[in-house]
Amino acid sequence: MRFVNYIIGLLLAAFYTSAPLMANNNKNDEFETLMEKIRNDFAQNPLIDETLNKYDAGKGCFTDVDYSRRDRTNWEPLIHINRLYDFAFAYTNPQNTYYQNEDIYNKIVKGLEYWYERNPHCNNWWYNQIAEPQKIGILLIQMRIGKKQIPSELETKTLQRIRKDGGHPAKWTGANQTDIALHWIYRSCLEKNATDLKTALDNAYSPIEYTVKEGFQHDNSYFQHGVQLYIGGYGDEILKGITQVAMYTQGTQYALSAEKIRILSKFMRGTYYQTIRGKHMLFDVLGRGISRKNITDKSATTLFAKRMIVLDPEHTDEYKAIISRLKGEQPADYKLQPLHTHYFRGDYTLHVRPGYTFDVRMVSTRTMRCEYGNGENLKTYFMSDGCTNIATQGNEYANILPVWNWCRIPGTTAPQLDTIPMAASDWQTRGTSTFAGGVSDSIYGVSAYAYTDNYAGVNTGAKKAWFFFDNEVVCLGAGINSTSHAPIYTTINQCLLNDKNILVSQNKKQTVIKKGEFTYDSPDWALHNGIGYIFPQGGRIYLNNEQQTGSWYDINHTESKEMQHREVFTLGFDHGTTPHNATYAYIIAPGITSAQQMDAYNKKSPVEILVNTDSMQIVRHKKLNIWQMVFYREGTFTHKEMTVKVDKACTLMLKGSRRDNAELHIADPAQKQSRIKVDVCIPKISKDTRSILCDFENTGIYAGASKKYILYKKQ
């Protein structure tokens, strides 16, 4: 298989670089060579018999298309262009039954005339300025190699309209800028317009830079629609467009620069593909696209990785491993390396281990809640409030969304309302927390979220923290208060019932759970689908094991109303109605498959939960000798092995506390850009208190980034 992938890489490279542009010799050759690459990129041999039966030869339209529709999603008139596009490839492909068919040619011409005269318009600008002009541009490029070409007058007026109505890429940002630049490239080649081609390419590559606006962020995350996390969705779109253009210009004067390839490579390898487990992307980085069927399946993104083998050969082995996982040729853990990243710009934490992936999505006054525009993602409200994914194979949440209880999104603490609230704005609603962030050393870390929400009857707050190690994630909640009329639940997980053998241990007695709803008072642990859930501080636990129903239409009005049925596993804490200073604690332990392993882990757990209050949450991992701490305000933590005092809120991590090279890692989730004084005394190393002034002043966009200090240096 490695050899096959190697050959594919060589063929891709040969294909895209076999005809370098001769910019200094013959301008026409530049345009023709680019168009040839574009044709090869979209080459297909379509079946068109069925759609031919729907074509009205007298008018040049299709009888089953309502050209007056202006819907913001699934815009029906675009079907017309998509079908003419297929006709063009049928007409120009020697392998197709309709190759050089005069009747097909006439249908294409008459269809383009009809489109020009009818000039359908969508209420969603994206169709008018991206989808339609891109498809028409490729169609016209393809017809240039036909036995007969599109009449010059028709082609010219069509291109003129694309230029007039298709928008200017410089007026947009991120993926939208690149997508508009693409049809500028198509049109420039057809018109042999060197000036517009340069403008198009400059704009196509312009988004490949770090920005505080929409686009690639300095923490290696991606924003679109304001300061909203969009690693998937618009992240998909920009990678598709940029790698596409980069392959066209590979080996030419317009080739993507080494620095821009570095930025692109870092995002793809360090963020984008890290959020994909097996072939499924974590649901909370997909934006409103989460409400679309099969959206988590990213197997098609092998295309981006294959292109990067050509563009970024230094990391060929990584891309080949990515491709193997996406195609299912290798298991989900294949060649995954331990990684922990807190995205301080995106209020997002990603923890990757070979055996599992765990993430946390938060929102603050610096970022936007997950959107619900265009009638999509209609129940998303709690998605941004400490939502978590727990994935081993990657398919744990595949197409579960229509049947989800959206008050029980994994990781969240929320009232069990009859109707899910909708944020004040469908597109851009900022969060309300001023304390959301985490500290990381790139392998381990702790994240914290001071959740508070008084909107639409939610009226709930909590101090939530996640402590990340190798074989477990410790999840703590404290200061849970609510005046909502509904019971408050903290959901641990709500996923597909992939393993129907659910075990629960209470008072060291194990029970196999049948279908239904169950409640437990302080059970020891639960086990489902190779993931252990441990309750070290007890609590009232609910567990559901039953079929749930719903439709895609319930969450996305562009999708089907057909009822969906899924077997679902749900686990969480019931804090009751109007809780006051309630708490929770649970440990996620992936990779455990039996009751014996659960009991063994529980008996010799390396994790100590030392403090869980609304002022501080502290966990120690004895085996790793790592102390992770969240201070929500100034305070002092005292233990026989150390004392830590801080004068401001922060998250910090102490490593190597038994050695004289102890490290302090610290971050400010409030991003106040001030100095934080930390006093540490570790008697086994020194009886003297070590005072460190952690300076976050003038850190600007890096205000939430982690800093490292050496507490004690070797003599």
Radius of gyration for the alpha carbons in the chain, expressed in angstroms and rounded: 28
CA dihedral 619, 706, 438, 569 (to 10 degrees): -90
The verdict on whether 366 is a catalytic residue reads no
Residues 305-327, buried b or exposed e (16+ Cβ, 10 A)? bbbbbbbbeebbebbbbbbbbbe
Beta partners for residue 504, in sequence order: 511, 526
Nearest to 168 by CA among 156, 159, 181, 157: 181
CA of 467: how far to CAs of 153, 436, 442, 621, 673, in Å? 66, 14, 13, 10, 24
Are 204 and 197 in contact by the 8 Å Cβ rule? The answer is: no
Spatial CB neighbours of 689, under 8 Å, sequence gap ≥ 6? 643, 679, 680, 681
Say how far apart CA 592 and CA 540 lie, in whole Å. 23
Catalytic residue among 80, 269, 288, 340: 288
Structure tokens at 585: 């604690």
Nearest to 360 by CA among 375, 376, 330, 340: 340
CA dihedral 320, 325, 331, 336 (to 10 degrees): 70
Residue appearing with tokens 């318009």: 121
* Residue type for position 513: I
Beta partners for residue 277, in sequence order: 280
Burial (0-12, 13-18, 19+ Cβ within 10 Å), 66? exposed
Going by their DSSP bridges, the two strands 582-590 and 563-574 should be labelled as unpaired
Phi, then psi, of 341 in degrees rounded to 5: -135, 130
Catalytic residue among 98, 234, 273, 533: 234
The verdict on whether 690 is a catalytic residue reads no
Nearest to 371 by CA among 227, 273, 238: 227
Nearest to 707 by CA among 652, 667, 673, 674: 667
Nearest to 492 by CA among 565, 429, 555, 584: 584
Say how far apart CA 630 and CA 133 lie, in whole Å. 52
CA angle (600 as vertex; 598, 603 as ends), nearest 5: 105
Structure tokens at 363: 């929102």
Residue appearing with tokens 């309709």: 98
Say how far apart CA 123 and CA 454 lie, in whole Å. 34
Catalytic residue among 80, 163, 225, 292: 225
Beta partners for residue 192, in sequence order: none
CA angle (204 as vertex; 122, 319 as ends), nearest 5: 110
Say how far apart CA 589 and CA 528 lie, in whole Å. 11
Residue appearing with tokens 């498809």: 135
Are 459 and 482 in contact by the 8 Å Cβ rule? The answer is: yes
The verdict on whether 288 is a catalytic residue reads yes
Q: How many helices (H) does the chain have, and how many strands (E)?
A: 16, 34
Catalytically active residues, by annotation: 225, 234, 288
